[in-house]
Structure 1
């Protein structure tokens, strides 16, 4: 029997707090994150401080969306996105399918020779957890700049009417994650799928004048389990497992 209660965070989304990198960028912006793409998860931003832009690239073309306090912006899987920090940009990030982004549902726009297999890619994106913070920052900045160069190449090719470089990146990204799909499906079934199924069970119960699930109500709260972690777009306060 399907449970009438889902105990996880609403809709099984993931939440983190992001302070976007303020390191100057290759193209002369005050700061910015690492361009990347998610394969199965939509992503949302709730801007809480500062100002900036999210640059996006899809098969439909390039766009820029201004970000300021109070802005809520989101995009679907397949959207390559890059955050630009024009000053103090802080965001609450809401991710679909909590657990999947942490399990690798993101591919940076690295050169094609870094996307050939999972080991090569893992080495290219790794930030050594046991290294001093200065070394971690150096590695994070270097991989950001490498991904930014490829992002600019993909943007230029798309603007010039050549869809193949972007399509080649899509193919390589999909190939990189293919071996993880069984594990991802299990995470989805125990998370987002279970949350939606529980709502269906509750609706059916209420139609049948059965309100017993209301007696199982509970309250939960948590704080960040890690602060200031070097992420793709900036320093992260993370709340895993909610």
Structure 2
């Protein structure tokens, strides 16, 4: 007969998720923006691909890229992902809930994500940082700051979208250049996070393949099972209220709500 399930607590997590990806859950913001749309703060990532797995409700994701403007419908079971440089904005239809998978866990929290603020904000690193950072505690003050941040990102986003719809890529490309200048000094720190996370995960696989070519199963002695739950619920993320996990080795504490 099968043995009874173990009631021992799960061990401390010494290993990251597969591929050192990041994981969080989002419930899209209900706040209406200047264009009448309810949803999140438009932004891009400079080195991370992001994926949305829709678990409830419906809505859309608006994207700006070299191919122009797109609006992709989202419903339960939908999977959408965006490569670096794609401006994306989550749009709420009805109670949109999403699980987010993020390449290079730790880098978005370290500044890889750049909001589509107006050019004068992007040109001033100190002003950008002050505008992008939220109070550390949730509550009315944090909510007001998150909404103000979202509205400013939409203010910068709408002219980018209008230009692309008119066939003019210049403002979109200028935003990408401004984002790259804004984060240039952060790259050495990002490189260390990448080495500790995604690169280390890939190198472990290479070492395991080398061992198996020699019929050496030594690494299997490290087999383990791990479990955890969200370590923070209801924070103010870029696109909605965010439940997040502190995962080992690569994820750093968020400095914004």
Shared fold (TM-score, shorter chain, > 0.5):
yes
2:255 aligned partner: none
2:25 aligned partner: 17
* Structure-1 separation of matches of 2:235 and 2:246: 13
Deviation at 1:40? 0.4
Where does structure 1 differ by over 6 angstroms across 4 or more consecutive aligned residues? none
TM-score (norm 1): 0.93
Deviation at 1:25? 2.4
2:100 aligned partner: 93
Is 1:189 aligned to residue 187 of structure 2? Answer: no
* Structure-1 separation of matches of 2:15 and 2:113: 26
Residue number among 124, 127, 136 corresponding to 1:120 in the alignment: 127
- Farther-moved stretch of structure 1 (231-240 vs 160-169): 160-169
Alpha carbon RMSD of aligned pairs, Å? 1.3
Is 1:152 aligned to residue 163 of structure 2? Answer: no
Deviation at 1:205? 1.0
* Structure-2 separation of matches of 1:221 and 1:56: 34
Report if aligned partners of 1:202, 1:213 keep a CA contact under 8 Å in 2.
yes
Partner SS state of residue 184, structure 2 = helix
- Count of residues paired in the alignment: 235
Residue number among 178, 197, 208 corresponding to 1:202 in the alignment: 208
Partner SS state of residue 129, structure 1 = coil
Deviation at 1:183? 0.7
Which ranges in structure 1 are unaligned for 5 or more consecutive residues? 1-5
Which ranges in structure 2 are unaligned for 5 or more consecutive residues? 1-13, 249-257
1:3 aligned partner: none
Residue number among 112, 123, 132 corresponding to 1:105 in the alignment: 112
* Structure-1 separation of matches of 2:164 and 2:80: 23
* Structure-1 separation of matches of 2:164 and 2:23: 32
CA offsets 1:66-119 (integer angstroms, 9 cap, x no match): 100111111100000000000110000000001101111100000011111321
Partner SS state of residue 121, structure 1 = helix
Partner SS state of residue 137, structure 1 = helix
* Structure-1 separation of matches of 2:190 and 2:142: 28
* Structure-2 separation of matches of 1:177 and 1:76: 18
TM-score (norm 2): 0.88
Deviation at 1:59? 2.1
* Structure-1 separation of matches of 2:81 and 2:170: 26
CA offsets 1:161-193 (integer angstroms, 9 cap, x no match): 222211111111001111011110111011001
